[in-house]
Structure 1
Amino acid sequence: MGPALPKETKIAFLFGSESHHRKRSPEVVRREILHRKERRAAVLFGTERPLDEWFKDENVCHKCGLTRSQGLGFGFQRGPEHWTQAYRDAFESGRCDHDPRPTFNVVPSVFLKFAEQNRPKEPDATASGFAQWLYSLYGTGYGKEEDRERGKQVEPIIFERRRNMGGQVDNGFLRSIRSDWRLRYNGLHLPNRDQVQYLAIDHLRVNGEALRVSPDLIYQNERTNEGLIVELKYTRMRIPRNLWPNVWGQLWCYAQTDLAKGMDHLRVVGEVWAEKTEWYGRRNNRATIETLSLRETVRRDPRAPAFDRFFSALFDIYASGGRRGHLLRR
């Protein structure tokens, strides 16, 4: 039957014209909202994975060189039961997982040396400041500055649209499905909302000032005391299968909060979203449909020794001249 893989699901929030909305009955809208919440929760808590439709036409696997025609189920979109024998053999032998996306390769010693040579002159005592500095170390080769700035503008739109269309996995929904998960912190900066309360991390200091952080979302499982910290990003670029260092650096900071430290098990999650506009219908009946889609969800253990050492060293370079960065490479 082949290896067991997470089911891929499309997470797209639609925002049509007024005429489009009038065509849907309240019951249809209710079912759509419930479906979005269920799929969103399934991806968030790890039983399903999002389907990225932006670059689904990747043709050649970067690792084994097999083409779509050789594999049929390229990128898992048709499942292991449809794979050819060559495709299956490559996967089951461990030679390749047939993920077409490239990996963002980082050599720690090289990255740290470059970071030391490009220390910020006036570091800001915020996790976002740390993440922006990390981005500056590689950003010209992996996307444009305007793409990142667009991401800042779209973050509130992502939350507002998810909430308005029933996509927000909040405590009301979690209780309704009898889940043990609860939303403990919501740090998304939304328009017309009271100032978000920053969390201070006393043992991480920049110029003597405690680091201030505002995680997008923090969930906690009341039964197992597991934690999940989520960071939202927006991009139309190709997504490396392991995302980008600035995402993980920011999430590493969030994992140092007292709230996160009190959890027995912790995972940090990078979510990547994108939006586009589509037209449907003909002539006078044409309408606009805007879609906001979850393209990727990647999770990591921020307490893994190598992960923690690397970003601890980078933060030390950012904040105080790189003493721990030198120690890491010895």
Structure 2
Amino acid sequence: MILDHHKICELASRYRPAILEPTVSAFTSWIFDLSHEYIPSSKRDMFLYERRQGEEFEKGLLQIARERAADISDQFATLEYRDPLDGTGDAFAMSRLKIGNSPLRGGPDIVYKHIESRKIIIVENKCSTAIPRKWPNLKIQLWCYGQIDRWLDAPDVILIGRVYNPRHREAGGNPKDIATWYRKDKNFDSECWELFEIFRSWLLKQVKRPT
């Protein structure tokens, strides 16, 4: 069972993040844990198995996806950034999402710039059996990337989550589901800001703790 936004906010106010650092990874890992808080015990073992399977399968499959991404260039968009998947990817600053004096940092999978409209297209690839629009941490992750300083001046940022099913290895790198959000969407932005404010409050409490 994936919880709705209001329930996640309720849980977020009660349970502090396991990783207290200003990174997209820490933020989204916390949202993932909160959103799966009430998985029935009868389904938990299968969920954990599929999560491990997805993690093992993800790197190779997503390497294929990134290689294919370069083929899109020159037709309607230019390739702005692609995570090299070797641990040397950029940790972009998001100054709008500051925690104290530290901006949130993280790096997307693939970024394009649409040639005609100049809009930015950010793509995040995942392996899971979950439906992407019911996967709150993917939504939060893409929202964060939409705040990256380097692309704040873009007229809009299109945020695309592509989910590959780890059970279908024969699919050859074709996503099973795609979800799209837009930085300009006020409801989307409001929900994500609400969770970020709670995340920020937890980190600031940690900073203020007496030594």
TM-score, normalised relative to structure 1: 0.53
Q: Cα distance 1:145–1:256, how it changes in 2: closer, same or farther (>3 A)?
A: farther
Find the counterpart in structure 2 of residue 204 from structure 1.
Answer: 97
1:313 aligns with 2:194: yes
Find the counterpart in structure 2 of residue 137 from structure 1.
Answer: 34
CA distance in 2, matches of 1:227, 1:145: 35
1:263 aligns with 2:174: no
CA distance in 2, matches of 1:181, 1:245: 28
Q: Cα distance 1:120–1:275, how it changes in 2: closer, same or farther (>3 A)?
A: closer
Q: Is the 8 A contact 2:127 2:164 kept in 1?
A: yes
Q: Is the 8 A contact 2:20 2:203 kept in 1?
A: no
Q: Cα distance 1:316–1:173, how it changes in 2: closer, same or farther (>3 A)?
A: closer
| SS of 1:137 mapped into structure 2 | helix
1:154 aligns with 2:57: yes
1:304 aligns with 2:185: yes
Q: Select the residue among 119, 123, 127 that pairs with 1:230.
A: 123
Find the counterpart in structure 2 of residue 213 from structure 1.
Answer: 106
How far does residue 315 in structure 1 lie from its aligned partner after superposition?
Answer: 0.9
Bigger proportion of residues as helix: 2
Q: Cα distance 1:241–1:208, how it changes in 2: closer, same or farther (>3 A)?
A: closer
Find the counterpart in structure 1 of residue 9 from structure 2.
Answer: 112
Q: Is the 8 A contact 1:116 1:322 kept in 2?
A: no
Q: Is the 8 A contact 1:116 1:317 kept in 2?
A: yes
Find the counterpart in structure 2 of residue 195 from structure 1.
Answer: 88
Q: Cα distance 1:202–1:149, how it changes in 2: closer, same or farther (>3 A)?
A: farther
Q: Is the 8 A contact 1:119 1:317 kept in 2?
A: no
How far does residue 234 in structure 1 lie from its aligned partner after superposition?
Answer: 0.4
Cα deviations across residues 268-315 of structure 1 (Å, max 9, x unaligned)? Answer: 11110124578xxxxxxxxxx684441111111132111111111111
Q: Is the 8 A contact 1:124 1:206 kept in 2?
A: no
Find the counterpart in structure 1 of residue 208 from structure 2.
Answer: none
How far does residue 212 in structure 1 lie from its aligned partner after superposition?
Answer: 1.1
CA distance in 2, matches of 1:310, 1:277: 32
Amino acid across the alignment from 2:27: F
TM-score, normalised relative to structure 2: 0.79
CA distance in 2, matches of 1:303, 1:169: 25
Q: Cα distance 1:241–1:161, how it changes in 2: closer, same or farther (>3 A)?
A: closer
The structure whose Rg is larger is 1
CA distance in 1, matches of 2:145, 2:104: 10
Q: Is the 8 A contact 2:23 2:105 kept in 1?
A: yes
Q: Select the residue among 46, 67, 73 that pairs with 1:174.
A: 73
| SS of 2:133 mapped into structure 1 | coil
Structure 1 gap ranges (5+)? 1-102, 279-288, 324-330
Find the counterpart in structure 2 of residue 127 from structure 1.
Answer: 24
Amino acid across the alignment from 2:189: D
CA distance in 2, matches of 1:292, 1:174: 18
How far does residue 210 in structure 1 lie from its aligned partner after superposition?
Answer: 2.0
Cα deviations across residues 185-237 of structure 1 (Å, max 9, x unaligned)? Answer: 112524xxx611211122323354221111111111122112211111101x3
CA distance in 2, matches of 1:107, 1:275: 26
Structure 2 gap ranges (5+)? 205-211
Find the counterpart in structure 1 of residue 82 from structure 2.
Answer: 186
Q: Is the 8 A contact 2:3 2:36 kept in 1?
A: no
The percentage of aligned residue pairs carrying the same residue is 22
Amino acid across the alignment from 1:106: D
Alignment: residue pair count: 198
Out of 303-312 and 205-214, give the one that drifted further: 205-214
Amino acid across the alignment from 1:266: V
Amino acid across the alignment from 1:120: P
